Amino acid sequence: MVDATAVVIGAGGGIGRALVRALAASGRYARVHALSRQPRADDGRIVGGVIDVTDEASICHAAERIGSPLDLVVIATGILHEDGRMPEKALRELDGASLARIFELNTIGPALALKHFAPLLAKDRRAVIAALSARVGSISDNRTGGWYGYRASKAALNMIIKSAAIEIARSRPLALCVALHPGTVDTGLSQPFQRGVPPDRLFPPERAARQLLDVLADLKPASTGKMFGWDGSEIFP
C-alpha cells in the first residue's frame, strides 16, 4: 500500500458510498476521506468528514482539514429529482426555484469543490480530480429534449471541468480533471426511471464504482478535460 490519499465528496450517496468502500478495499490508499453532510465514523483507513456543497465555507473547511497532497478526488454529488418534483418534460414546466436548486447541487457545488480541492492535488506525480456528470449533459447527444434543468446543469458542469483542466495543467502537468458518466445505477436518483433499462445496463452501486475507478486508472494526461462513460468511451460535448 502506497502512502496515497483519496477523497470522495458526496460519500453519503449510493455511488459515493460504493466508491469509498472500493477505494478502501483496493489497498492503493493509506487514507480515504469520506465527506458528506452526515459523516460516517472513522473505520480503519476510512476517515469521515463533514461537507455541504451548498455552503462554500463548509467546502473550504473540509479542504483545509484534509490538506495536501491528494492523489484522487471524486465529486459524487448531484440531484435529478427532489421532494416529488420530477425532471421537466416541457418548457411550461420550468420553475425558477427548481432550476436554481438543480444548478446549486449539480454545477455550483462541484465547481466550488474544484476551487478548494484542486490546489491540493499532488504536483510531483499523477493525480486525478473527477466529477460525476451524465451523458444527457452532452449537447450533441441530445435527441429527445426534456429534462431541461438536469441536462443544462450537467452541460455547465462539463464546461467547468474543461476550463479547470486547462488551468490545473499549468501547474500540475501530470494531473487529470475529468467528468464521468456512471451509466444507470440502481440508486434513489435513478429509481423512478429504471423501467425499460436492460438488466445488464442497470448497475449495482458496487459495480458502478469499480467501473469508474477502472476508467480513471487507465486515463492518460491527454485525457484531461474530457468526459468518459463507465465503459471508458469518450462522450463528446
pLDDT tens track for 67-110:
999 999 999 999 998 877 899 999 999 999 999 999 999 999 99
Is 60 exceeded by the pLDDT of residue 52? Answer: yes
- Selection from 23, 31, 27 nearest residue 130 by Cα: 23
pLDDT in tens, 156-184: 999 999 999 999 999 999 999 999 999 99
CB atoms within 10 A of CB 216: 18
Which grid coordinates belong to 106?
449539480
Domain containing residue 147:
5-235
pLDDT in tens, 28-50: 999 999 999 998 889 989 999 99
pLDDT level of residue 226 (50, 70, 90 thresholds): very high
- For the chain, what percent of residues have pLDDT higher than 90? 88
Q: Which residue has the cell 491528494?
A: 70
The CATH code of the domain that includes 214 is: 3.40.50.720
- Selection from 111, 226, 225, 116 nearest residue 163 by Cα: 225
Is 80 exceeded by the pLDDT of residue 196? Answer: no
Considering its fold, how many domains does the chain have in total?
1
Q: What is the pLDDT of residue 82?
A: 86
- Selection from 151, 153, 158, 60 nearest residue 105 by Cα: 153
Q: For residues 116 and 78, what is the distance between their CA atoms, to the nearest angstrom?
A: 18
Question: CA-based angle 157:15:234, to the nearest 5?
Answer: 50
- The burial of 220, by beta-carbon neighbours within 10 Å (0-12 exposed, 13-18 middle, 19 or more buried), is given as exposed
Per-residue DSSP letters for 97-129? HHHHHHHIIIIIHHHHHHHHHGGGB-SSS-EEE
